[in-house]
Amino acid sequence: TLIGNIPAAVERVRDPTFIQVLARENGCSYPATFSSPFGLPKDGTYLRKPTASVGGTGIIRWVGLDGKPCADGALWQEFVTGVPMSASLLVGPEGIEVLSVCRQLIGRGWCQAKQFSFCGAVELSNAGLKQDMRTRLLEFASALVERAGLMGLIGIDFIMPRKTTKDPIGKPIVLEVNPRPTATMELAERRTGRSQAGLHLSAYGFPLPTKSIAPTCGRDVCWGKAIVFAEKPVYVSLAFDRHLTRCASLMEDQSLGWPMVTDRPRCGTVIQAGHPISTIFASAQTPGNVLRSLREHVGEIVRVL
């Protein structure tokens, strides 16, 4: 049995018009979005996004027909520049709690990821998001919860824009609402030791044990993750499996008891080009050091590919 938001709530937050109106009424922005490319420029200033997509799969810059229609339909959305971000929220009977704010890693070459593919995230410290932007996001989230009736763990993907003369305030640009637990939430779990699944169930009224069985947590550190993709078909040999084990051992000093290489493929598996190989984690005192550590460890893994 799945425990989460009802279909009507999910359908509502998947409606671009609903999110656009809600964002603009509550201190945020939303990119121009259309259900048809008719009349839109074909110079890459718009993106074609599948309406049923995960992790950026299938998103391309719109330059006209390419003979590859989206099986489940598509939207055309204005491409906006800035820093891709995500906010992880817990919605319960007592209100909304911000669990973490992360900088998303999108299309990073060192992860061997395609241009718009999600390939990880790095937690920001409390000072990493200005108070004005945090306030605007919470206003949007409060209206979202009230109007759509969301509960439990939810995520908001947004762009932190660079300030311009046109927008000196730098409003957060909402891209998408995920009415479910998201891929970045496990970073908060590693930092705090609070079970994200437990928080989600508790929001729906399920009684849970108060004692945490999580490994040692370090609330004064930041966590990050990077997903390594295959540039070409990769055969997972015993030698490569041992290489992953050795790489994991090199990260033990920052693990705090958590596994640092996860989603490990089975020996004998062939991973096709463009598919994920494994997920790498890192922790450090600052987001910048987390990112440097991730790059270093990912580089060590792909060195033998």
- Residue-wise pLDDT for 200-214, tens only, equals 999 999 887 666 555
Percent of the chain predicted with pLDDT > 70: 90
pLDDT value, residue 215: 58
- Residue-wise pLDDT for 260-275, tens only, equals 999 999 999 999 999 9
Q: How far is CA 10 from CA 53, 106, 173, 177, 205, in A?
A: 15, 25, 20, 9, 20
Q: Which run of H or of E encompasses 262? A: strand 261-262
Read off φ and ψ for residue 177, nearest 5 degrees.
-115, 125
**pTM, whole model, 2 decimals?**
0.90
pLDDT value, residue 67: 53
pLDDT value, residue 216: 59
Domain 222-302 is found in CATH 3.30.2270.10: no
Mean pLDDT for all residues in the chain: 89
**Using CA of residue 155, residue 50, residue 228, residue 299, what is the dihedral sign?**
negative
CA–CA dist 184, 100 (Å, integer): 9
- Residue-wise pLDDT for 101-145, tens only, equals 999 999 999 999 998 999 999 999 766 788 888 999 999 999 999
What are the extents of the domains in the chain? 222-302
Rounded average pLDDT over 30-35: 93
pLDDT value, residue 152: 95
Give me the helix-helix angle, 196-203 and 185-192, nearest 10°. 100
Question: In sequence order, what are the residues at sequence separation of 6 or more whose Cβ sits closer than 8 angstroms to the Cβ of residue 119?
Answer: 105, 106, 107, 108, 111, 113, 226, 227, 229
CA 219 to chain CA centroid, Å, is 21
CA–CA dist 112, 22 (Å, integer): 36
| Residue 23: pLDDT band with limits 50, 70, 90 | very high
- The residue among 34, 20, 41, 40 whose CA lies nearest residue 73 is 34
